[in-house]
């Protein structure tokens, strides 16, 4: 009987120890600080059309190969750095600017975007009415 109780207790401990707790990240300037890379760009022509992944489609997301691995750094003191990482462009595209977060609106490089999703590992911003009225681009950033 004692062996069964110890085995049950051991299994209960094992299962509870393996359970991962979801890290909680609330959208704030402090939690936003970090370096990110664009990992996907999606386009929706209208509210009734399906979203398309256009990350590799030069008609929608026309960037040079040397830009696809660049980093977007949101640093302390509202400093934004664009870093020509990985494969360097010639000349490199490094520059600094400012950034801010007000509620769910991210402003960097002089443009404002609604943050549609934020997690500990990344965020999404969107932009509407780009090519036609009612369309929407969503850009996925992953924390590095």
Assess whether pLDDT exceeds 90 at residue 11. Answer: no
CATH topology of domain 33-143: Lipocalin (2.40.128)
Q: With bands split at pLDDT 50, 70 and 90, how would you rate the model's confidence at 61?
A: confident
Per-residue pLDDT at 23 = 55
Do residues 84 and 93 lie in contact, with contact meaning Cβ atoms separated by under 8 Å? yes
Q: What is the percent of the chain with per-residue pLDDT over 90, rounded to a whole number?
A: 62
Tokens coding 92: 């490199």
* Buried-state track 134-144, b at ≥16 Cβ within 10 A, e below 16: ebbbbbbbeee
pLDDT tens digits, one per residue of 89-132: 888 889 999 999 999 999 998 899 999 999 999 999 999 999 99
């Amino acid at each position: 009987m004692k062996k069964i109780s110890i085995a049950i207790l051991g299994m209960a401990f094992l299962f509870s120890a393996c359970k991962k707790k979801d890290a909680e990240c609330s959208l704030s300037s402090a939690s936003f600080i970090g370096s990110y890379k664009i990992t996907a760009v999606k386009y929706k022509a209208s509210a009734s059309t399906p979203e398309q992944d256009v990350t590799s489609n030069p008609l929608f997301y026309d960037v040079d190969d040397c830009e696809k691995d660049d980093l977007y750094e949101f640093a302390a003191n509202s400093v934004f750095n664009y870093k020509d990482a990985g494969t360097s462009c010639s000349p490199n595209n490094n520059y600094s600017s400012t950034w801010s977060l007000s509620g769910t609106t991210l402003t960097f490089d002089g443009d404002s975007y609604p943050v549609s999703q934020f997690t500990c590992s990344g965020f999404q911003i969107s932009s509407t009415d780009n090519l036609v009225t009612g369309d929407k681009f969503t850009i996925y950033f992953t924390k590095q």
